[in-house]
Structure formats: structure tokens, C-alpha cells
A and B are shown apart, each in its own frame.
Chain A
């Protein structure tokens, strides 16, 4: 099937099998490997990307469901060589270790802060509860998101 998608602002027309998963379109066809696969059951969130601004788990969507839509992946966070505040926050607060869950965490955090720019700790914890991290124990991820919220409120982004 022919589909048209826009990914991080770049338009693509691709011929895909109807059963191709969105995550495989992103990783293997478009070769943006920042989006990871950690489970097959929508639990771990490593594959989280934004579809028209909404975080979705790309392992449980077909590529054809993204036709005509705007996809944003971790590779789209940095603009003109400037890191997004969530990226800065994860680095500054040691919010990552092995880095495997990080792209999904970043995309969930990004979308969450768009909706809720001044969240409480509890709100942050619920917001990222669909993303599993096995390394950090989440404490520093929460701090990273708080860092990004503060930075954005001060006009960082």
C-alpha cells in the first residue's frame, strides 16, 4: 500500500505491507533507529513516538494508520543544533543510564509538558507510568522533567 507520512517535518511516500508495524516503518524503512522496541504488548513504552502531537506506542500501530499524519520521533527534538529542554534535563539530572528507554521517555515527557507545563511530582510519575525504565529507579527522570518544566517556563523553549 502507498502511504504518505511526514516524520520530523520531512515528507515520505512509501509502499508498505498493510501489516507493517509503525515502529518498523520508522526504524527499518525510514532508518530512524532512535525509537526502540522493548516489548510487543504496549507495556514498556520504548517505542513511544508522537502522532499528530499525541504520544503513541508505535509497536501497536500499523504504519498505514499513520498515513497523512505527522510523526515526531526523538530525532526531531533537537532544533537547529539546540537541544530541547527535556533532552538537557535528562543529561543534567542523570535521568538515563543504558539509554534504551530514553527516547520513549523523552517523547512522553515532551508531550506531557506541552499539556501540563507546571506539573506536580505525582502528575509526572503518572504521566510516565506507561514507560518502563529498568536502570534509573525513576527519581532522576522525575527531576529531569522538572528541570525541563522550569527551563521551558523561563522561556527556554
Chain B
């Protein structure tokens, strides 16, 4: 896309430096734990050592005798206000604090309020709880057996552990296509539980001002406005009304989906502040964060693919068991309990597809949320990209050639997928060919053949993903009934500077910079002159927040639409000032001039001044606009990634030698920020591919509940990412943009897994579940007789 503005204005396409950085590099950010109020009490939480147990007794006496402890709160205390249970975003229910039993290890059991962090921890250690262990159900497949203990005994008439069944697509035509297929492949794929593990954990400071009856909550939330409404709906009966609730989401130290849900700790802190009239701080530690906050994934997938002899794909069939823990606390649009999993036909032109997902309860923490992903898109992409490789290998075709044969062609867009989505735009072959060229694909295949002769293990993996982001059109997308629009409100000051506020909330994505650039592009006001604010529900317009790569597709579009309203009014003022007809004026970023007389012009700054000092009679003063943008469609970013791995035969260690990522996110607002998002996303793709997993033993004990066992990649394991791009603008977005924050997380794991299987295929290995740890590979190599 050609630049329309000068570097001084800094509109779209300029890599301007981030407005956020001056405070962060000086240690002057303001995160939730930095908020310290006079008289503040600290909250610590007692957690269950058992995955499933009756609570026989909670004895708070020793805790209450601990110096500094002000109160101990139990489920019984909250039950008096009917606040011991709360709804989840998926209209299931979960406990705030238990009255009868606990359902997972690390579940909140009681809370201690004290005058200091240390006293609160002392108090929590002194609370004595008597449990009676109950049978534990960890495996979701066993949970579905008729003899499995029913976990949700709180639900009357619940006779099993099945939550919901969801299916999509045409079963008959899919079955027919499978009957007629020349070749079919089938594979079970497990995508394990993982955790976003943002470096800042979750927490809040709740402050109920008894005099004014107003509750202010500083909170690690990606969706402050929705949270305000949820609080009002859940706690309305105890006197919290929405106009008396203010949610402030200050600087957020990474979100990635983990800061969308409402965790019990927030609710207990709010309740404690309302009861005591004092500010209450709750900050979870890392182990609480990993052990109790919403997890991602945990999908047990069985996929089948059908094709003709010549390699043409014909049909896809998927059955999945979704382990949700003890409550469905996913953060999905209401209509789609399996999120956007039905993007699983990916980048390929399928005529038939059918997907089934069954949600199941187990004795694990509730979820599942996204892991830097738009509602189960990674699960979908991993499945189709693994299956595409499997089919290509089965047919003896090169995986690149196989993909090029089956891609949706550029001329097929807008493309209606077999599962009902309308893909906006794409050039999938263009991205793959660019990646192949950049990495030297043909040469790598030659090298691999030579190495194989020498017994060395080298693999090349491709992932050509299509994402689906920017939820979403109000016709199909809502969370708890709230439609998934987003918003921008702009005020231009008399001197031509501006402030704009949004319903989203950055957690590191750089909204203060990119939103200013969108407005600079549309209005010609320098990005440096535009202040961006979000995250305070008292000042910002209502919006659904930042997750699922929706900020640019939805709120970014709202910024463009609001700016265009301002431009319309500015044109009227310019016409008045220039004594010209509106239709005779020509706009270029920053000014209106008279057609044929370019010297007769008014800058946006002059127009802004006139809007307050010399506006036309009959026109309202001021220069402001607001837009609540309801997107006409989702956007479909895509890309092709190629990864080269070398496997150490002695240790089973997989080393990513090179990784080329070619992304297409349509028109780009700030290339520097986009590249940064891709680097980060790739690293969060590498992480679950090779390192991260949260698993449980038979008794429901968590394995991987601290950074000792849950391995985040460091700078040493992380490869030097090589990025490039193609640009296919979205026709459904006013700026032609698509969103990019999660593409790489979604696309990368399959490229790595495919590379590993590619390295081992000749030994008879058909699939390896992620994370592909040295132990897993070493075991395979032993089985295949490669390593002694």
C-alpha cells in the first residue's frame, strides 16, 4: 500500500516509534499491582490440595488470631448474599467460593483479608480445612462412561458429565464424499492444556466508596466494559448498579486471552471491599496463575481426510472431545460453544466437511480460553495442517505441491467455505511461494535427501494457515447477549490536537500508537498530536474489548468511521470558510482545497479552530464524532510458514534451525509493530509445539504448576525469526486491514510438528502430539531402532 501521509503526519504504513514506550523504559508504567491506596487491605486465598473433595469443616479461628488478619471469608459468607456461585461467559456456572465441595486442585476454598500481604499469607496458612476426598475424573473420555461419577451434583437432574454437543456442516454429503474417495487418512491429535502465562499475573484493587456508593476496580482485564455490565448483572441484587461501577484497566502486562474471564479472586475482592468499605488488593502469584486460571485448548481430536488419487482434497470429518474442566468457562461468542473451530477447512477448497464437538466436565480448572488465538482457531489450523501433511505424504506428494494444488484460488474470493464462512480475500499460493523462495525450499529438500542417506534426521515443515478474526458481525456474534461491536469517540480540540477513546484495551499491542496512526491517516492530524485512551469505563465509549485479534478489525474500523464523520463536518466548515461549494472541495490528508485553485485551502487545524470560533450559523459548534462499528464480516488473515528442524538422535532434542514466516494481514498500519506481533506470536507458537503442557496425574494433581515445570522459551531456545509479507487487503474493512496479533501463534505449531514428522516419516512415524519434547522423540527413536 502506498503511503498517503508524510512521516510528520505518520499515518498508515509508517513505522513510527511507540507512544507507550517512554513510560515503560523508565519504569513508569502503571500496572494493577502498582496501585496502592491508603488503608488498603490485602487478600490471600486458601486453595484446595484435592481435585475433588467434600468440605467437611473450615476452621478460621487460628487465622483470625493471626496478627494483622481482619477477616476470613468462606462460601457460607458469600451464600448469604447469593454470591457463592457466578455465571461463566458461556452461561454455565462456577463457584466463587465453595460451600459443599471442591472440584479441582488449587480451587479457591476461603479468603483472608489482612493489613499486609504477609499477614494475609500467614492467615491463609492458618485456615484449617477438613476434606473428605471424592473419586477424581481426569480423563474426559472416561468422564463420558456411564459408570463415571457425576461431577456437577449442584445441577439438579444432571446424570452425566456431558456439557453439550455441537455439530456443523453437512454430514450426508461428507459421508458420501468419504465413500467415493480414492484415499483417506485418519489421525487422532491431542492438543494439550496450556496456559498463556502472561508475565504479569491477574489481580485487582477493588475500592468501594461507601459515601458515594461507588465501586472502582483497577483490574487486569482485556474487556473492562463487559466486566462492568457483568458485575452489575451479577451483583445488582446487593446494590451495585452499573452507573456506580467504574472498571479501570490500567497498563496490562500481557493478556493473550487469559485476562478475559472473571476469576473468583476478583469477585471476592469486590465483595470484601463492599463489606468493609476499604480498598482491597488481590494479586495472584505465579503458581495460582498457572494452576487455577483458565487454561487453553485440551482438545482430543479425531480427524479424517478424503482425496482423489491425483491429490485433490474432497472432504474433511472431525470429531472432538473438549475437556472444559468442571465448568464451561470458555470465552466464546454465545452461538459457538466450540468457538470458530469450524474454520478447520483452512486454506483448501473442500466441497464437503462436517465437525462435531462434545464438551465434557472433569476435575480440572474451568476454561477454556484462547491462547493468543481467535476462539479455537489454533485447534482448527493445527488439525487441518497436520492432516494435509499426512495426506501429502500418504500420496507420495511433496507437501508444498499438495498445498498449491488444493488452495482456494485468488479468483474464488469472496469464497464460501463448506462450513459456511465467507472468506474475504486471499492469495495463498503467493504467500507459500514467497516463503519457499525465501527459505530455498528445493535446496533444502536436496540437503534432506543427502542427510537421510547419512542417517541424519532433518525435517522441513509447512503450515499454510487461514485465520478468522475480528469478531464480529452482530447478527451472529455476542457474549452474554452483548453484541460484538466496538467503538471510537474522537474530540478535536480548537487548536487542532485531538483525543480519542476506544472500547478496547491494549495489553502490549501498541494501540496508543496504531490508533493515532489510523486517525492521522484519515484526518491528516499528526499522530503525535493525538492522545489515545482506553480502559476506563467512566470515560471510554462502550466496547467489547481486546482479544481474538479484534482491535484493528473492529475498533480500528470504528476509528476510521468516526474520523470520516469528522471529515464530513470539516468539509462543511471549510466550504463556509472558503466560500466554496462542498462538492468543489478536494481532500488530501490534512486539508481541503478548492478544485483548480490549490492555494485556496484550509488545514484541518484551521477548520478545528473555526469549529469553536467561527462555525457557520445553524451548525452545532465543536468537532467530535463517535462510531459504534458493527463489522459486516470477519477478516481472514493468512500466511505460509516453513520450518527446518534438525533432530539429535542421541537426545531426541528438536532444534529449529530456520523458520520463515510470510504473513498477509491486508493493509498494514505500523510495519514495525506488525513485525513485533509476528515475532511474539511465533514464539508463542514455538512454546506449545516444543515445551509447554499442563497435565494431571490420576488424582488430579497438576504437573507443571510453576515455571519450574512449565517451560516458557527463553532467548536461547527461540530461533531468529525470518519474516516477510504479502498484502491482500480486506474488502470488508474500511482500511483494508485484517488484524495480525495472533496469526503466528495459530500458524507456527503445525509447521514445527510437520517438520518433526517429516524428519521421521521414513522411519514409519506418522504423527507426534505437541509438545514434542526430547523424551517423546527419544522414545520414538528407540521404538524405531534408531537410538539404543
Contacts and interface: CB of A to CB of B under 8 A. Distances in A.
24 contacts: A27-B33, A34-B26, A38-B201, A38-B286, A41-B707, A74-B27, A87-B25, A91-B18, A91-B25, A94-B673, A94-B675, A94-B676, A99-B253, A100-B31, A100-B200, A100-B254, A102-B25, A125-B716, A129-B715, A131-B714, A133-B715, A137-B676, A137-B718, A139-B679
B676 A136 contact: yes
B668 to A, nearest CB: 14
A99 B508 contact: yes
Nearest to A89: B25
B118 interface: yes
Given A38-B201, A41-B707, A94-B676, A132 B714 contact: yes
A102 B715 contact: no
A32 B712 CA distance: 27
Nearest to A92: B17
B24 A99 contact: yes
A121 B716 CA distance: 10
B37 interface: no
A28 B715 contact: no
A17 interface: yes
A90 B676 CA distance: 12
A151 to B, nearest CB: 14
A136 B509 CA distance: 10
Contacts of B706: 39-41
B117 interface: yes
Contacts of A139: 679, 718, 720-721
Contact of B707 (A28, A44, A74): A44
Interface in A92-139: 92, 94, 96-103, 106, 121, 124-126, 128-139
A39 to B, nearest CB: 4
Interface in B103-133: 117-118
B200 A38 contact: yes
Nearest to B200: A100
Given A96-B21, A99-B251, A136 B679 contact: yes
Interface in B693-721: 706-708, 712, 714-716, 718, 720-721
A39 B707 contact: yes
B22 interface: yes
Chain B: number of interface residues, binned into ranges: 35 or more
A96 B254 CA distance: 11
B197 A99 contact: no
A52 interface: no
B508 A135 contact: yes
B676 A140 contact: yes
B36 interface: yes
A150 interface: no
A87 B26 contact: yes
A146 interface: no
Interface in A17-35: 17, 19-20, 24, 27-28, 31-35
B715 A138 contact: yes
Contacts of B29: 34, 99-100
Binding site of B, secondary structure by majority: helix, strand, loop or mixed? loop
B188 interface: no
Interface in B246-262: 251-254, 256
Contacts of B23: 99
B65 interface: no
Given A19-B118, A99-B253, A125-B716, A137 B721 contact: yes
A46 interface: yes
A37 interface: yes
B672 interface: yes
A139 B675 CA distance: 10
A48 to B, nearest CB: 12
B287 interface: yes
Tell which of A24, A34, A100, A132 has the most Cβ of chain B within 10 Å. A100
Tell which of A19, A46, A137 has the most Cβ of chain B within 10 Å. A137
A141 interface: yes
A126 B30 CA distance: 30
A132 B676 contact: no
Nearest to A38: B199
A139 to B, nearest CB: 5
Nearest to A74: B27
B24 A102 contact: yes
Given A31-B36, A41-B706, A44-B199, A138 B25 contact: no
A135 B687 CA distance: 12
B25 A36 contact: no
Contacts of A97: 254, 508-510, 676, 680
Contacts of B26: 34, 74-75, 77-78, 87
A30 to B, nearest CB: 12
Contacts of A124: 715
Contact of A17 (B118, B683, B714): B118
B21 A135 contact: no
Interface in B4-48: 17-18, 20-31, 33-34, 36
Nearest to B34: A33
A18 B517 CA distance: 51
The 3 closest A-B pairs by CB, nearest first: A34-B27, A98-B508, A100-B253
Contact of B680 (A37, A40, A136): A136
Contacts of B18: 91, 94
Tell which of A27, A91, A130 has the most Cβ of chain B within 10 Å. A91
Contact of B27 (A28, A103, A130): A103
Contact of A106 (B22, B25, B680): B25
Contacts of A41: 286, 706-708
A33 B712 CA distance: 25
A33 B200 CA distance: 13
Given A132-B199, A132-B714, A141-B715, A98 B34 contact: no
A91 B715 contact: no
A58 interface: no
B347 to A, nearest CB: 24
B17 A91 contact: yes
A63 to B, nearest CB: 12
A100 B27 CA distance: 9
A142 interface: yes
Given A35-B27, A36-B31, 6 more contacts: A38-B201, A77-B26, A99-B24, A99-B29, A136-B680, A139-B718
Contacts of A12: none
Contacts of B682: 137
Nearest to A125: B715
B556 to A, nearest CB: 18
Contacts of A92: 17
A146 B611 CA distance: 49
A98 B252 contact: yes
B198 interface: yes
Interface in A62-102: 73-75, 77-78, 83, 87, 90-92, 94, 96-102
B679 A137 contact: yes
A128 B713 CA distance: 12
